[in-house]
Structure 1
Amino acid sequence: MKRVSIVFLQAVIVLIGLVTLVLLIWLPLMEGRATNLDLVNIYSDRFILYGYTISIPFFVALYNAFKLLGYIGLNKVFTTNAVKTLGNIKFCAIILSALVMIAGLFIKFTHHKEDDPAGFLAICIVTTFASIVVATAAAIFEKLLQNAVDMKSENDLTI
C-alpha cells in the first residue's frame, strides 16, 4: 500500500478514537436526569462507569488496528507480530460484544416499567452484531495471515 493511504487510515483511526472519547465525556451531561445533578454524581453513576469500562476494549482494538497499519506501512505484514495484533483485535471485539450484551440484558430486566428501553436495546443489538462481525473478520484474517507466515517461514528454511 502507498504510504499516503496508510497515514490516511491511521488518521481515520485516531479521529474515531477522539470522537468516541468526546462522546463518552459529553453524552452523560446531555442525559435527561443529569440536569439536576452535579458533575461528581453524573460521572459516578454505575451505568456511566460501566460504559467507560466497556470502552476499554474498544480503544485497545483501535490501538491494535493502528499498530497493524504500522506493520503494513513497514512491509512487515507477514510476521508473527501482525498475527498477534489481529488476535488482539479479535479478542477485544469478543469482549466488547459480551459486555454490551450484558448491559442490554441488564437494562431489559431492570428498567422502570414506564420507561421504554427499545432504543437502547436496538443500539446494544447493533453494537453486538458489529463487534461479532469484526471478531469474525479478524479471526479469518488471523488464520490466513498465520498460514502465510508459516508458508513464508518454510520457504525461508528451504532457501
Structure 2
Amino acid sequence: MKRGATLFLRGVIILIGLAALAVCIFFIPGVASRDAAAHPESAYLQYPFLASTYGLAVLLFAALYQAFKLLGYIDRNKAFSEPAVKALNRIKQCAMTVCIILAAGLVFVAFGMDGDRAGAISMGLICTFVSSVIAVFAAVLRRLLHQVVLLQDENELIV
C-alpha cells in the first residue's frame, strides 16, 4: 500500500479522534446538565449517563489507537504479522464491548424509562448496529490475516 494512502487514513483517524474528544468535552456535559434540569425526577441518571458515555469514548479511543498501530505495521511492511492480528483482535474486542454496553443501555431505556423514548432507542439501535458491523468486519479480517500468517510460517519452515 502506498504511503500516501496510509497517511490519509491516519489523518482520518486523527480527525475522528479529535471530533470525538470535542463532543466529549463540549457537548456531552451540556446535554446531561440540560436533561437533568428539564427532568428533575430523573436527574440522578445524569452521572451514570456521563460515566457510560465516557466509558464508550475510552473504548473508541482504544480502537482508534489500534487502527493507528495497524497502519504503522502496514507502513513498515509488517501487515501480515502477529502484531497486526492482535491489533485487529483488540479492535474487535472494543467494538463488541461497545455493542454490549449499548444493548444493555437499550434494555434500560426500553423498560426502565417512561415517556418518549423512541429517539433514544432508534439512536441506540443505529449505534449498536454500526459497532456490530465493525466488530464482524474486524473479526473477518483478523481471521483472514491469521490464516495468512500461519501460511507464511509454514512456507518459511518448508524453505
TM-score (norm. length: structure 2): 0.88
Distance 1:30 1:94, change over 3 A: closer
Deviates more, 1:21-30 or 1:132-141: 21-30
Counterpart position of 2:23: 23
Amino-acid identity (%): 38
Q: RMSD of the alignment, in Å? A: 1.9
Residue 25 of structure 1 deviates from its aligned partner by: 1.6
Structure 1 unmatched ranges of 5 or more: none
Residue 93 of structure 1 deviates from its aligned partner by: 0.7
- Match status 1:46 vs 2:48: yes
Q: Give structure 1 regions of 4+ aligned residues with deviation exceeding 4 angstroms.
A: none
Structure 2 unmatched ranges of 5 or more: none
Query: Residue 86 of structure 2 aligns to which amino acid in structure 1?
Result: K
Residue 148 of structure 1 deviates from its aligned partner by: 0.5
Describe the SS at the equivalent of 1:45. helix
1:9-88 aligned at under 5 Å gives the runs 9-27=9-27, 28-30=29-31, 32-33=34-35, 45-88=47-90
Number of residues paired by the alignment? 152
Residue 45 of structure 1 deviates from its aligned partner by: 1.9
Report the Cα distance in structure 1 between the residues aligned to 2:57 and 2:98, rounded to whole angstroms: 8
Residue 33 of structure 1 deviates from its aligned partner by: 3.0
Counterpart position of 1:98: 100
TM-score (norm. length: structure 1): 0.88
